[in-house]
Amino acid sequence: MHIVSVINYKGGVGKTTLTANLGAELAYRGSKVLLLDLDPQASLTFSFVTPDYWHLNLSRDKTIKKWYDSFSGQVSMDLSSIIITPKRVGPFLGRTVGKLDLIPSDLGLINVDLELATELTAATLKQSKLKYLRVHRRLADELIQPEFQDYDYVLIDCPPNFNIVTKTAIVASDHVLIPAKADYLSTLGISYLRRSLDELVSDYNEYSQLSSSDDDSPISPQILGVIFTMMQFYGGRPIAALRPYIEETKRLGVPVFDASMRENKTRFADAPQYGVPLVLMNNPSSAYIVRELEALVSEFEERLEAS
C-alpha cells in the first residue's frame, strides 16, 4: 500500500482537483484507492457527494472530525467505520476490479488542531515527547490495521498548512506530493514546506528513540515530486512567464514531474457537481485534458515504482 500526502502551504493550487483525478484514474486502472479528506474546506468530499447528502447521511458520525473527536471519550472509533463508497463514481470505473472509497471531511475539522495540542501537555519532558509520538502516530496506527490492507493507494488531501493534523498525515505517509502553480508564492512555499518536513522527521525520529514500542520506529517520507498545475501552454510548451518558476523549483533540488495539469477552470469546476472527476467523464471536448491527466497518473505510478 502506498500512502501519499498531497500538500502545499498555498491554497488555490488545484490540490483537491489533482487528488480527485489521480485517485479516480488509479481506480479506473484497477487499483483499490482510498481518498482521505483532511482539509476543513471539505472540497474533496464535495467532489463526490452533495452537501445535502453529507448533511443528512454523514455529518453526524461519518467524518474524519468525528474520528478525531472520539479520542476524547472512553472508546475511540475505528477509522474504517467512516469509510464510504461514493455511488455516483462507480459506474464510470467500468468493469475493472478497481475501487474508489472516501473518508469524508468536516467543516469543523479546523478546531481539531487545538484539541490535539492540549493532549501534548505533560509534567516532564520525556512524557511530553512520548505524548508527541502518540498523537502524531494516531493516523498511522489506524492505516496499518487489517481493514486497510486491501488498498493499493491511500491519498490524503491535507489542509494548506503544517498543523498537527497535517503532521499526522505526514507521519503516516511514505511519500509527499506537492501541487504548485508556477508563480512566486507557490514556489516560495515549496522551500518552506521542505524545511518543515525535515524538521518534523528529525523531531519525530529523535523522540522515537525514547519509546519501547515497535510502532514508533523512525519515519522517512520522501517527496515524490512537484506537479505544476493551472498551466498555460503555447506551441506545446509552458508560456514564457511560467518557465522561470519551473526552473527555480528544479534548482531547489526537489523532483519535478514532467507531466502537468493545464488550466481549464470551466471543465474542472463543473466536474464536482456531477460527483465524477473529469478524468472519468467521456466528454469529447475534454479529451485533450484527459490525455494529459492520464500521462500524469502514469508518471505518478512510475515514480512510486522507482522509489
Better-scored residue on pLDDT, 76 or 36: 36
Q: What is the pLDDT of residue 270?
A: 63
Domain with 235 in it = 2-306
Looking at the predicted structure, is the pLDDT value of residue 100 above 90?
A: yes
Looking at the predicted structure, is the pLDDT value of residue 199 above 70?
A: yes
What is the pLDDT averaged over residues 134-143? 92
Q: CA 193 to CA 254: how far, in whole Å? A: 11
Better-scored residue on pLDDT, 288 or 138: 138
Name the pTM for this structure. Answer: 0.92
Kind of pairing between the strands at 2-6 and 32-37: unpaired
Indicate which CATH number applies to the domain containing 268: 3.40.50.300
Q: Number of structural domains, the chain?
A: 1
- Residue 70 near residue 76 (C-beta atoms within 8 A): yes
Residue with grid cell 488550466, as numbered in its chain: 263
For residue 114, count CB atoms less than 10 angstroms from its CB and return exposed for 0-12, middle for 13-18, buried for 19 or more. exposed
Question: Taking every pair of C-alpha atoms in the chain, what is the biggest distance, in angstroms?
Answer: 63
- The cell for 245 is 518558476
Looking at the predicted structure, is the pLDDT value of residue 213 above 80?
A: no
Count CB atoms within 10 A of the CB of residue 213.
12
Better-scored residue on pLDDT, 282 or 280: 280
